[in-house]
Amino acid sequence: MTAADIPAAVGRRALGLLATLGHAACFFADLAASLPASLRRPYLTVVQVHAVGGRSLIIIGASGAAVGLVLALQGYLTLSRYGSAGSLGLLVALALVRELGPVLTALLFAGRAGTSLTAEIGLMKAGEQLVAMEMMAVDPRVRVLAPRFMAGIVSMPLLGSVFSAVGILAAYVVGVMLIGIDSGQFWSAMQDGVDVFKDVGNGVVKTLVFGVVTTFIALYVGYESQPTPEGVALATTRTVVISSLSVLFLDFILTALMFSAP
Amino acid sequence: MGKKQTETLVGLFVLAGLLAIVFLALKAANLASFSLDSTYPLLAKFDNIGGLKAGAPVKSAGVTVGRISSITFDNKDFKGVVAMSMDSHYLFPTDTSAKILTAGLLGDQYIGLDPGGDEKNFKAGDTVVMTQSAIILEDLIGKVLYNKVAEAPADGSAKK
C-alpha cells in the first residue's frame, strides 16, 4: 500500500460508516412505521415481552441485589469516615435510580435479550424464513421485527425499575439489618433527597431510551447479518459491542441533558 | 407453553415492574409527601444570602413550612431577594423575622422563621421586613483577626 492509498482507505471507511448509519435510519423509520400494524396481533408482542422481558427478570433482579449490597458496604465505609453514615440510603438510591439502574440494566439486557434477538433473526434469515414470508406477502417487519421491538421498549423501563428497587432493598438489608444504621434515617434521608420527577422519572426515561436503542441495534444487526453460521456469530458479537458502547455514551449525553443544572 | 400461561407470566412481569416503579416513587422518593397543596408566595430581602439555593427549605421551630422558589438580586437597594412558597396551612404574623441558618457546621443553608406577636398575618406577596443575613465565615475570620490586631499593640507595650 502506498502513501496515497491511506486517505482513500480512510475515505472508504468513512463513506461506509455513513452509508450504514443512513441505512439504519431508514430501517428505524420502517420499523417505527410498522409498529401500529403489529398491534393488530397483540399476542405476538405478548409472547415477545415474555421472551425478552419476563425471562430477563431473574438475572436483572439478582444483579440489582448484588449491586445494592456492594454499594451499601462501600458507601458505608466512605460515608462513615465523614460521620454521615445516615446518608447511605440517599447515596444508594441516587446512584441506582439515576445511573446504575438504567445503565447496568441496559448492558445486561443487551447481553441477555439483545443477543438472542440477533441470533434468532439472523438464523431466520439464514434459513430463508424471512424471504419465504415475503413470498407469501407477509411483511416480516410487521410480523417478526415490530413485536420484538415493541417488547424491548415495553420491557426495559420495567426491568430498570425492578433493578433499582431490588438494589435499594438489598442496600436496606446491609445498611440497616447488618450494619445497624437507623431505619428511619435511612429512608428519610432518601426521601428528602430523591425527587420523583427529576430522579425517578428521568431514570425511567433513560431506560426507555436504552430500550429503544439496544433492541433496535439487536434487530438491525440480526436483519443485516450475513446468512451464514459465521455471519450470525459475528452479528451476535457485534450486537453486544455496539449496544454496550452506545448505551455508555448515550448515558453521558442523557446525564448531561438531565442533571447538569443543579 | 399455552397461550394462557404465557399471558399470565407476562402479566406477572408487568405487575412486578409497575410495583417497582411505585416503590421507587413512594418509598424512595416520597411522592406521598410531595404536596400539591396550595402555597402562597412570600418575599424576604437579605444583605447577604450566603450559599442559599432555590429549593432549600423554610423552617419554623425546625418544621419545614415552605420552600424557596427563586432567588433574585434587587438592583435598587442591592439586596438579595428570596421568594418563598409557603404552605398555605401555616400563617405567620407580620412581625415575623427571617434569618439564614446552616444545618450543622458545613450543611446546607435554609431560612428559619421566628414568629412575632402581631395579630395580623402575612398575606400572599408580602415581604418579611426583619431579616438577618447568612454568617459568612470569611467575614467572621476577618473580624477575629481585626480584633487580634487591635489587641496586639497593647500587649507589645506591656512587654516593653
Contacts of B18 in chain A (CB under 8 A): 158
- On the question of pLDDT at B134 being above 90, the answer is no
CA distance A5 to chain B (A): 54
Query: B28 to chain A: which residues are within 8 Å by CB?
Result: 93, 97, 164-165, 168, 190-191, 194, 200
Contact at CB, B14 and A49, closer than 8 angstroms = yes
A200 to B25: CB separation less than 8 angstroms, yes or no: yes
Residue with cell 445486561: A108
Distance, CA of B121 to CA of B37 (rounded, Å): 19
Cβ B18 vs Cβ A57: under 8 Å = no
Over residues B53-68, the mean pLDDT reads 83
Q: Which residue of B has its CA nearest to A193?
A: B29
pLDDT of residue B100: 87
pLDDT of residue B153: 65
C-alpha span between A149 and A131 (Å, rounded): 20
Q: If you measure CA to CA, which chain A residue comes closest to B10? A: A50
Q: Is the pLDDT of residue B160 over 50?
A: no
**pLDDT value at B125 more than 50:** yes
pLDDT of the residue at B152: 72
pTM of the model: 0.74
Of A161, A187, A192, the CB nearest to B24: A161
pLDDT surpasses 50 at B159: no
Closest to A122 in 3D by CA, of A241, A225, A4, A229: A225
A vs B, Cβ pairs < 8 A, gives: 88
Q: Chain centroid to CA B142: how far?
A: 27
pLDDT score at B105: 64
Closest Cα in chain B to A93: B28
| Substitution target from A191, A195, A205 for chain B, most B beta carbons within 10 A | A191
Q: Which of A43, A187, A196 lies closest to B3 in CB terms?
A: A43
Mean pLDDT of chain B: 82
- Whether residue B126 is predicted with pLDDT greater than 50 in this model: the reply is yes
Comparing A149 with B52, the larger pLDDT belongs to: A149
Q: Are B28 and A162 a contacting pair at CB < 8 A? A: no
B14 touches chain A (CB under 8 A): yes
Q: Do A49 and B10 touch (CB under 8 A)?
A: yes
d(CA A14, CA A43): 42
Query: Which of the 8 DSSP states describes residue B122?
Result: P
Mean pLDDT of B72-86: 89
Q: Which residues of B touch A154 (CB under 8 A)?
A: 14
ipTM: 0.81
Query: Cell 417478526 maps to which residue?
Result: A144
> Is B3 part of the contact surface with chain A (CB cutoff 8 Å)?
yes
Q: What is the DSSP letter of B121?
A: B
Evaluate if residue B87 carries a pLDDT over 60: yes
DSSP A21-78: HHHHHHHHHHHHHHHHHHTTSHHHHHHHHHHHTGGGHHHHHHHHHHHHHHHHHHHHHH
Q: What is the mean pLDDT of residues B123-133?
A: 84
Question: In chain A, which residues have their Cβ closer than 8 Å to the Cβ of B104?
Answer: none
- Strand-pairing partners, residue B68, are B84
What contacts 24+ positions apart, CB below 8 Å, involve A222-230? Answer: A222/A117, A222/A118, A222/A119, A222/A120, A222/A121, A222/A122, A222/A125, A223/A27, A223/A121, A223/A125, A223/A130, A223/A145, A224/A23, A225/A118, A225/A121, A225/A122, A225/A125, A225/A126, A227/A122, A227/A125, A227/A126, A227/A128, A228/A126, A229/A126
Q: What is the average per-residue pLDDT within B26-36? A: 65
A203 chain-B contacts, CB cut-off 8 A: 24
What is the C-alpha to C-alpha distance for residues A218 and A29, in angstroms, rounded to an integer?
Answer: 16
Name residues of chain A where pLDDT drops below 50: none
How big is the CA angle at A192 (ends A189 and A193), to the nearest 5 degrees?
90
Q: What pairs with residue B66 in β-bridges?
A: B58, B86
- Give alpha helix (H) positions in chain A: 5-38, 42-52, 57-81, 88-94, 101-109, 115-126, 129-135, 140, 146-172, 183-193, 202-223, 229-259
Which amino acid is residue A50, in one-letter code? H
Sign of the alpha-carbon dihedral angle for B96, B56, B54, B78? positive
Residue of A54, A161, A165 with shortest CB distance to B10: A54
Type and span of the H or E element at B40? strand B39-46
CA–CA min distance A24, chain B (Å): 30
Mutation site for A-interface testing, chosen from B24, B26, B34 by largest number of A Cβ within 10 Å: B24
